[in-house]
Structure 1
Amino acid sequence: MSETTDQDFDDLLQIDIVSDVVCPWCIVGFKQLEQALQVTGTSAAVKWHPFELNPQMAEEGENLREHLAAKYGTTPEQSVKARENLSTLGIHLGFQFNFSDDMRMANTFRAHQMIHWAGPQGKEHQLKMALFEAHFQRRENVNDLHILADIATRVGLDRDQALKVLEDERFAQNVRDEQSFWTSQGIKGVPAVIFDRRHLITGAQGVDNYAAILRQLSGNAAA
């Protein structure tokens, strides 16, 4: 699966993914989908779309455990168990989670603006993966302008331009509009995966289920 341009969508299965870069199930779901694409030999064009798990998150973020306790009533024991389960899942999928008790939840509006900017440059997917890695593996603050600019350079984007994009917020309204569109379509949680512009699947479904969906779509296309 490679970076795609708009014309590529005419020849490949289009897969739109609505997600947030601080959502662990979003990277789990994508890695499951990625394996399913490999297993089925499906060629697809993946397009990422913005969603903020916590649009009102403070600039300084929050301690992850405290955030989960306040938002969902998660106990410390449940938090530890959830992190263990995610870490095990990640190992099987080739993605390493590096959780810690002092890990923080970040505001992701700036990260989504940078992803939007990266799209026309053919770097959207690479940047999305780099942001997942930055948050979950290196525990970097994906709301910090300079950290975001550094992440941009890791995928070959210009650091100074990335800073300008983040500072002047030229794509802020674009991101807000796109978020509004997807929520107006009934998407309230992520990951949300839309196959062929028509079939919405929510949550991380597992390699086998994604593979079954891909085979079904392939069969329908052949018919």
Structure 2
Amino acid sequence: MSAADTHPTVQVDIVSDVVCPWCIVGFLQLDQALQQTGIQARIRWHPFELNPAMPPEGQNLREHIMEKYGSTPDQSQQARQQLTKLGAELGFAFNFDDDSRIMNTFSTHQLLDWAETQGRQHPLKMALFKAYFTDQKDISEIDTLLSAVSEAGLDAEAARSVLESGQQASSVREKQEFWTSRGISGVPSMVFGGKYLVTGAQGVDAYRQILHRCMAEAA
């Protein structure tokens, strides 16, 4: 048995979208819980599109939130301030302004699906979150995507080929259907140990408890 095998490990499947702020918040809360407990996780990210019909040019984020959820401008501003504060507490920078836009994310999911086959899915997911929320980049643009790919240690030209060929498109659609057919309608949705479903960003304490529960049952 190797030294790595002595560490307790839990499989965590996370259904998410790159433009979902609560997905990065939830992951960072989970990450803190993992650090506090000493438990390790095998993280797998799965595709979910919050706005599959979003056109290529995207939409102003504030307008989108108001249309989709009926939020007032004040409510939208308060939500952004809450996320910015929460992100800072978790070591992540949310940068919102009046020109922030929501994007179509099907291309990001195709790249993440490919990156899993290369063993670099998680670094790419983190790079995409940073590109969109921190750097305010257009993640439907090929140059933005390829920059994130390079940052994650993947080959940019291979990634370009993935997008141009559409080779991962059907795989992504199948995985989306798998999760939606099982009742997943919002993100983040995390499945711990293939058994416990937790939806939304639940906080460090809640994740710590479920990690301990998984390990106790495994023992």
Question: Could you state the TM-score of these two structures normalised by the residue count of structure 2?
Answer: 0.95
* Equivalent pair of 1:62/1:105 in contact (CA under 8 Å): yes
Post-superposition CA distance 1:85-137 (Å, at most 9, x none): 00110011111101111000000000000001111211100000000000000
Give the one of 91, 94, 97 matched to 1:94.
Answer: 91
2:77 aligned with 1:115, yes or no? Answer: no
Structure 1 contact 146–163 (Cα < 8 Å) conserved: no
3-state SS of 2:11 partner: strand
Q: Distance in 2 between matches of 1:164 and 1:218?
A: 41
Give yes or no for contact 1:64–1:103 (8 Å, CA) kept in 2.
yes
Deviations 1:173-206 (A, max 9, x none): 0000000000001000000000001110000000
Q: Deviations over 1:47-93 (max 9, x none)?
A: 00000000000100000001011111111111110000001100111
Residue 174 in structure 1 maps to residue 181 in structure 2: no
Q: Return the alpha-carbon distance in structure 2 between the equivalents of residues 43 and 156 of structure 1.
A: 22
5+ residue gaps, structure 2, are none
- Count of residues in Structure 1 that have an aligned counterpart in Structure 2: 213
1:77 aligns with 2:101: no
Give the letter for the 2:95 counterpart.
Answer: N
CA displacement 1:138-177 (0-9 Å, x = unmatched): 1111111222112111111111111111111110000000
CA–CA distance in structure 2, aligned partners of residues 125 and 19 of structure 1: 12
CA contact (8 A) 2:10 2:211 kept: no
- Structure 2 match to 1:4: none
2:65 is aligned with 1:65:
no
Aligned equivalent of 2:152: 155
Partner of 2:141: 144
1:33 is aligned to 30
Alignment partner for residue 127 of structure 1, among 124, 127, 138? 124
Question: Does the aligned pair in 1 maintain the 2:131–2:144 contact within 8 Å?
Answer: no
| Runs of 4+ more than 2 Å apart | none
Q: Secondary structure at 1:48's aligned position in 2?
A: strand
Residue number in structure 2 paired with 1:21? 18
Q: How does 1:194-213 map to 2 (within 5 A)?
A: 194-213=191-210
Deviations 1:21-57 (A, max 9, x none): 0000000000000000111111110000000000000
The amino acid that maps onto 2:116 is G
Which residue of 2 is the match for residue 5 of structure 1? Answer: none
- Specify the code of the residue in structure 2 equivalent to 1:157: L
Q: Is the 8 A contact 1:130 1:155 kept in 2?
A: yes
Query: Counterpart of 2:28 in structure 1: which amino acid?
Result: K
* Alignment TM-score, normalising by the size of structure 1: 0.93
CA RMSD of aligned residues (A): 1.1
- What is aligned with 2:190? 193
Aligned match of 2:211: 214
How far residue 12 of structure 1 moved from its aligned partner, in angstroms, is 2.9
